[in-house]
Chains A and B, each alone.
Chain A
Amino acid sequence: MKTRAWGSTILLGILLVAITYPFIWLKLSYEPLSGVLRAIPDFKRGFAFLSGLAPLVGSGLGIYFLFRFLKQNSFFQKKTTAVYHSYKHIRRNSFFPLILFLVFASLAFFSGPKTLNVLIMVGIYMILSLGLNVTIGMTGLLVLGYAGFFALGGYTFAILQQKIPGVTWWMAMPMACLIGAAVGGLVGLPCLRLKGDYLAIVTLGFAESFREMVRNMSGFTGGDSGLVIQAASKVQPLFGLGVKSMVYLWVLAAVFLTVIILHRLYYSPLGRAWTAIRENEIAAEAMGVPVVKMKLLAFSLSAVFAAIAGVFYTAHIGFLNPESSAFEISVLVLAMVILGGLGSIPGALLGSFLLYYIPTILRDYFPTIADYRLLLFGTIMVIMMLVRPQGLLGSKDRV
């Protein structure tokens, strides 16, 4: 890093402390006898806050240096602006994801349970937003009831382990994927003639009716009180690592697999066909793209990833209730995709990280404004639409 970069980093640090100073570094103390209200510095809480940020800053710096290293060693080349070269680029760097994976996997060994909880949930949301990106970003189908597929995956697992003792989460995974794909296709089928807002309403209807269905089939799904996952069905400790660490590793692996699969599909003829449908459905149809088949495929694939995320979520939390199909989750995932950038894989990752991590920070360090996080999201979204409508890392080009 150049001196200027160091300088701005230090400046950023000072700025961070300056902004957070009134909230975190000060403690109000009220002395009832004299009636004096005094603000006294509270360094303990302040440093706790900074150390909470440390993994974020650390992993950011780690990734930065890794990129630099790879760039200088000429086996990491800057992406060209088109798909044209993309598969060559992939082949040359096939070990790059592996390095990244190892860096993130190492977090499992020295992170506390709290950090791991956050990381696991970020990972689950990453899978969700990557999956939603297939329909919204790549194929241009606005799906608003994505949490329905998420809950579907979760309930597949929860009901299976209830009915058949000894079914573990990974045994339920293929079943959840199959059911997810089938239901995704079924929901997609009547939606093929719909576009834009109408499609959004139908998918929203799916999620809401799924929630009501789960509520009312209480003998099967536990109704409002939900289902509890038996200990034997949960993730088991392995390699001397705790349960949390193992969940984190599995989720991490799933995120990487999702990214690799979607990246490869995106730059394949299939992804090209999806993008063509998004850009101009009529022209795509005229050029021999089987639009109906492709849309159904996008729907199914997207539902499969939601179901996978649902199984992980259920295995992680150990409990599932109908609220997992709530509208808020659909909107949150949608916001993640839009914030990161429609159609962009790194964008979906960044979006889910930010929109999950920010509320966590708020909850831990600014409990007073944590209740206003939806307001904050709304503001962020409005500002995004005005300033950078394509999203943080997004662009509609397939770069």
Chain B
Amino acid sequence: MRQLVLDVQNVGKRFGGLKAIDNICFQVGKGEILSVIGPNGAGKTTLFNCLSGFYQPDAGDVILSGERVNGMSPHQICRRGMARTFQNIRLFDHLSLVDNVLVGDTNHHSTSVWGMLIRSLSYRTFQQAAKERAMKWISFVGIEADPRSKAGHLSYGNQRRLEVARALATDPQVILLDEPGAGMNPSEIGGMIELIAKIRSQGITVVLIEHHMKVVMDISDRILVLDHGEELAIGKPEEIRNHPDVIEAYLGGSGEKRKVS
């Protein structure tokens, strides 16, 4: 077994009477890729929000590298090594690409205000190093645009990539990608698959929500299937592909059942 990075124990969240997710359990090891799939409204994004601190889970625990992180605010969780991207892109449109990535550079926020005001040598060298790190992440995700141009002017595919770069700049152990391939054409999706593999090769654990079965089946080590907020199945891609419950959830019942009804 690989070194355990993220341990989700019986996490549940309800909105009023509606159980958005209930009793979700899974573990992810270092450098593993776990895909979360499920029909619309299955609770995938709710699960991500619970993990990253935007929602407080009603039940269960989220343990990141041995530390319980539920109850913390998103920025604290981010600093402890869990970064995320968003389903609908949330970039800082009026900032340059470099600045977008630098916002993610969490080491940054610990600089002292006095250092900034007098522009101390350590502050300047630190800035320089941070800028170089940011440039490295921008080229890592494969954006070739001018790093000084505005994020809002990027193409759609590049905006998705920039979001990934920004999340990577937080130096995460786990990165949560919420539909990284949404709205992309097949060649862009190919590029995204390569990028996810590259992220894994850095030793970063990837948890992703994805609807493109090609992405999911090609790169996932394991797949978690959600339906109506419940865990339907978890396992290797080939197991999931042939899992009767999964087929039912996706196709709305097996052949025999449909005959009956």
Task: List the interface of chain A (C-beta within 8 A of B).
Answer: 80-85, 87, 90-91, 261, 264-265, 268-270, 272-273, 275-276, 279-280, 282-291, 395-398
**Contact residue among B52, B78, B96 (Cβ-Cβ distance under 8 Å from A84):** B96
Surface stretch bound by A, among B16-24, B103-111, B212-220? B103-111
Bound: A396/B108 CA distance, A: 22
The answer on a CB contact under 8 Å between B75 and A87 is no
Contact in complex: B167, A287 (CB < 8 Å): yes
CB closest chain-A residue, reference B150: A397
Q: In the complex the two chains form, is B79's CB within 8 Å of A288's CB?
A: yes
What distance in Å separates the Cβ of B56 from its nearest Cβ neighbour in chain A?
Answer: 14
Establish whether residues B116 and A268, one from each chain, have CB atoms under 8 Å apart when the complex forms. Answer: yes
B residues whose Cβ falls under 8 Å from a Cβ of A:
52, 54, 73-75, 78-79, 83-84, 86, 90-96, 98-99, 102-106, 108-109, 111, 113, 116-117, 119, 124, 127, 131, 147-150, 166-167, 170
B75 adjacent to A288 (CB under 8 Å): yes
The 10 closest A-B pairs by CB, nearest first: A82-B148, A82-B96, A279-B92, A283-B90, A288-B78, A268-B116, A396-B94, A288-B106, A269-B108, A276-B103
Decide if B73 touches A285 in the complex (CB within 8 Å). yes
Instruction: Knowing that A83-B95, A288-B79 touch, tell me 4 more A-B residue pairs with CB under 8 angstroms.
Output: A269-B108, A284-B92, A286-B75, A288-B104
| Nearest CB on B from A334, distance (A) | 21
The answer to whether B75 touches A81 (Cβ under 8 A) is no
Contact B91 A268 (CB under 8 A): no
**Smallest distance from the beta carbon of A180 to chain B beta carbons, Å?**
17
Neighbouring B residues of A279 by C-beta, 8 Å: 91-95
A261 nearest CB across to chain B (Å): 6
B175 to chain A, nearest CB (A): 11
Write 11 A-B pairs (CB below 8 A) sorted by A numbering: A80-B148, A81-B149, A82-B149, A261-B117, A276-B95, A279-B91, A279-B92, A279-B94, A279-B95, A287-B75, A287-B166
In the bound complex, do residue B109 and residue A87 qualify as a contact, i.e. CB atoms below 8 Å apart? no
Q: A269–B83 contact, CB under 8 A?
A: no
Tell me whether A268 and B147 are in contact (CB under 8 A). no
Q: Would A280 and B94 count as touching, CB distance under 8 A?
A: no
Alpha-carbon gap, A287 to B84, bound state (A): 8
In the bound complex, how far is the Cα of B82 from the Cα of A39, in angstroms?
A: 79
Q: Are B148 and A87 closer than 8 Å at their CB atoms? A: no
Chain B proximity of A266: nearest CB distance (Å): 10
- Which residue of B is nearest A294, CB measured? B109
**Residue among B124, B127, B131 with most chain A CB within 10 A:** B127
Instruction: For A343, give the chain B residue with the smallest CB separation.
Output: B94
How distant is the Cα of A80 from the Cα of B150 in the complex, in angstroms?
A: 13
With A82-B98, A285-B74, A286-B83: A264-B91 Cβ-Cβ less than 8 Å:
no
Task: Pick the residue among A82, A90, A268, A275 that contacts B92 (CB under 8 A).
Answer: A275
Asked if A265 and B78 sit within 8 Å, CB to CB, the answer is no
Chain A residues near B147: list those with CB within 8 A. 82, 84
In the complex, chain A residues whose CB is within 8 Å of the CB of B111: 268-270
B75 with A289: CB separation less than 8 A: yes
Chain A nearest CB from B93 CB (Å) reads 6
Contacts of A275 in B (CB 8 A): 92, 94-95, 99
Q: How far is the CB of A333 from chain B (nearest CB, A)?
A: 23
